[in-house]
Amino acid sequence: MNHNIYIYLLIMGGVTYLIRVLPLTLIRKQIKNRFLKSFLFYVPYVTLAVMTFPAIVDATSEPLAGLLALIIGIVLAWIGANLFQVSVACCVVVFLTELIMRYI
């Protein structure tokens, strides 16, 4: 089966273009619906979370280590730790969990 990569690229480019142009051409007025505005506000955060959270668990050799680091990171961020503190704590949790799991 012979596939032409240029057709795939053309379709991908067309779909990407339509996704970005259609809202600009179809919605001319300011959006006043509170539900729709809040939905559109949170779309980038949800998209980032959907791409990031599975990668956090799969990035480690032990999924448990990634899950524990995710939980610790969320708790530390919730109580107000800065990004550096959260990332260092998550790295330490992954290191210690994988070290402990190796000897169990």
Phi first, then psi: give them for residue 102, nearest 5 degrees: -65, -35
Query: What's the confidence (pLDDT) of residue 1?
Result: 59
Query: What's the confidence (pLDDT) of residue 29?
Result: 84
Q: Which two tokens stand for residue 63?
A: 């999924």
Closest CA relative to residue 104, chosen from 46, 58, 9, 96: 96
pTM over 0.95: no
Query: What's the confidence (pLDDT) of residue 69?
Result: 95
Max Cα-Cα span within the chain: 62
Q: Which two tokens stand for residue 41?
A: 């506000």
Phi first, then psi: give them for residue 72, nearest 5 degrees: -65, -40
For 24-33, what is each residue's pLDDT tens digit? 888 888 888 8
Residues of the chain where predicted confidence (pLDDT) is lower than 50: none
Residue-range domain boundaries for the chain: 31-103
